Structure 1
Amino acid sequence: MPGIDAADLELIVSAAEAAGQIARRYHGAAPQVWEKDDNQGPVSEADLAVDGMLRSRLISARPDYGWLSEETEDNDSRLTTSRQFIVDPIDGTRAFIEGARDWSHSIAVAHGGQIVAAAVYLPLREAMFSASLGGGARLNGGTIAVSAEDQLDRANVLANRVTMAPENWRDAEPPPVTRHFRSSLAYRMCLVAQGRFDAMLTFRPTWEWDIAAGALIVQEAGGTVTDRHGRELKFNRGLPQADGVVAGGALHPALVAELGSPG
């Protein structure tokens, strides 16, 4: 019999594939879009359709698990459960609405503050990234590993433009990396896990649903994921946010050192 993490991984991978089938029907078809309160960005009818399906499918299979999703109103009940689903129905909604390809379905299972199973699926790229705790990271079934690059001046890093502003860095001097960008945070983390980029970083308060699955995939690919101060990430927190994220292979220590210590 497979262990619980392996069974959970099988469950969330199949759910992510089902999410892709729903999202494809809306993609490029001018779905209805609303703006969330407090400048939290857009949400489309596709986000809500995927969220509803995932919650029904996953909680039916694991009724004792908690639920944390970007598109479901949060409550404290998840804090009393031993395991939780952490879900972003469509990560990269703006890209989805614009008809681009770089959006994903991100599903994770947390236990004791740690992610133990993860799936990030990009339907239009036919790319399924997955990992279970201690089981390695994979892309479409093949093993993946992070980059061994440890020199900043040779590094390719995924980040938005604001992240590289001088005021975010020690001595007001951003590191000499080459910056790139992708819309989905989960996809950025998976590209690091795959070794296509040396690191990714964001300094804004970051919701758990954006990073939970990607964090385990990077770690199981041999990388390191922390907040912007180099501190370990914990999941299923009362306020489900991290103080930024730095994820990388061998480059991670050098990037964190450039950021300095927390004040």
Structure 2
Amino acid sequence: MASPYAKELHVAQLAVQRATLLTKKVFHDKAKGTASKDDKSPVTIGDFGAQALIVQAIKKNFPDDEVVGEEEAATLRENDDLRSQIWDQVKVARLEDDAAEKELGGPIQTVEDMLSAIDAGNSAGGAKGRIWALDPIDGTKGFLRGGQYAVCLALMVDGEVKVGVLGCPNLPVDDSLSLSAEDGKDQTDDAGKGVIFSAVAGKGATGRPLSRGALQPGHPISMKPVTDITQATFCESVEAGHSSHDEQSQIAQRLGITKPSVRMDSQAKYGSIARGAGDLYLRLPVKKDYQEKIWDHAAGDLVVREAGGQVTDANGLRLDFSKGRTLRDNKGVVAAPKAIHGQVLDAVMAVLGAK
């Protein structure tokens, strides 16, 4: 009997792998022609190209599914040069990966097809039906400087995350390598780098090397048992505007952790703790009214939980992906192995309650 969501997992892994290869090529070509969104964050050829490829794959295989995507094509319709550069990358990505194209190929035959695919990521999200959450490049600033970034895709069914896939081109393939403070800085995707993490609800989490063509064999991953929390490695965001470094430092001190935090962009943090390279992930909002985007957490949340971890917000509530395009009922993220999550959460509540 086929496992639940077997086709969805296979399509998601192939689509994320092909899109991740596109982003690698864009970086090495240094064709990062940037525009500016309303929130002033950089947008690259890689963002748009990856979204087009992934949405096209979803729509071909699951035409009735909706997609909550980060990008829209309005900028490209007004910028001939950027649009042309993205179209060139999408065409190359389809031609260079025959194995994926045979399974994922479909309606992208023209520039307008590409723009329509990007704009098809306009779902409002919600608690009913099958909805994919897509971040074509999570950690765009990390991507631009050669740091950590991830291509992230998750399927939600009636508001519950059922499939999650993370493409992390700059993380080492070797699960046994522990994170250090250097891992969040400028990286290369040399030999031995590039991982795809994936999970299906109730079926565990896996890792496999990033490759061209067919998927490489996967292997189970799990969080590392933490017997002494003072020796734990915790991850946080690079950008102080995304997460409160000061409060997270106070939490680490309360737990007796003396090692410097590992500051990394993107959901590569979720993947890293899921396979035991790190232990804790803290993301505490710097503004009371800030709402996390579902595409920044859906895939990573499932990968960590299926690897034996627990993920809640700063109030101990499960992340709720059924409220639309944001986690409007949650504040912050606390991810840790189940055995110590309560201890970490107590420290979080103590520090936040003392404000």
Query: TM-score, normalised to structure 2's length?
Result: 0.67
User: Is the 8 Å Cα contact of residues 164 and 174 (structure 1) preserved in structure 2?
Assistant: no
Greater gyration radius:
2
Query: What SS class does the counterpart of residue 50 from structure 1 fall into?
Result: helix
How many angstroms does 1:112 deviate by?
Answer: 2.2
Report the structure, 1 or 2, having the larger strand content. 1
User: Is the 8 Å Cα contact of residues 66 and 79 (structure 1) preserved in structure 2?
Assistant: no
Name 1:176's counterpart in structure 2. 256
Give the counterpart of 2:334 among 230, 240, 246. 246
Structure 1 residues 164 and 152 mapped into 2: Cα distance closer, same or farther (>3 Å)? farther
Runs of 4+ in 1 over 6 A off after TM superposition: none
Give the counterpart of 1:159 among 236, 241, 244. 236
How many angstroms does 1:167 deviate by?
Answer: 8.8
1:190 aligns with 2:271: yes
Structure 1 residues 150 and 237 mapped into 2: Cα distance closer, same or farther (>3 Å)? farther
Deviates more, 1:62-71 or 1:219-228: 62-71
1:59 aligns with 2:62: no
Name 1:83's counterpart in structure 2. 130
Q: Among the aligned pairs, what percent are the same residue?
A: 27
Give unpaired runs (5+ residues) of structure 1: none
Deviates more, 1:113-122 or 1:155-164: 155-164
Q: How big is each residue's C-alpha offset from its partner over 1:169-221, in whole Å with a ceiling of 9 and x where there is no partner?
A: 68x9654323111111x110011110111110101242111111111110111
RMSD: 2.5
Name 2:152's counterpart in structure 1. 106
Name 2:101's counterpart in structure 1. none
Give the counterpart of 1:122 among 151, 158, 168. 168
Query: What SS class does the counterpart of residue 147 from structure 1 fall into?
Result: coil
Name 1:34's counterpart in structure 2. 35
Query: TM-score, normalised to structure 1's length?
Result: 0.89
Give unpaired runs (5+ residues) of structure 2: 73-118, 170-188, 209-217, 286-290
1:139 aligns with 2:207: yes
Query: What SS class does the counterpart of residue 79 from structure 1 fall into?
Result: coil
Q: How big is each residue's C-alpha offset from its partner over 1:12-40, in whole Å with a ceiling of 9 and x where there is no partner?
A: 0010111022212211314101222134x
Deviates more, 1:1-10 or 1:250-259: 1-10
Aligned residue pairs total 259
Give the counterpart of 2:305 among 197, 216, 219. 219
> Aligned partners of 1:199 and 1:169: how far apart in 2?
14
User: Is the 8 Å Cα contact of residues 5 and 163 (structure 2) preserved in structure 1?
Assistant: yes
1:260 aligns with 2:346: no
User: Is the 8 Å Cα contact of residues 67 and 123 (structure 2) preserved in structure 1?
Assistant: no
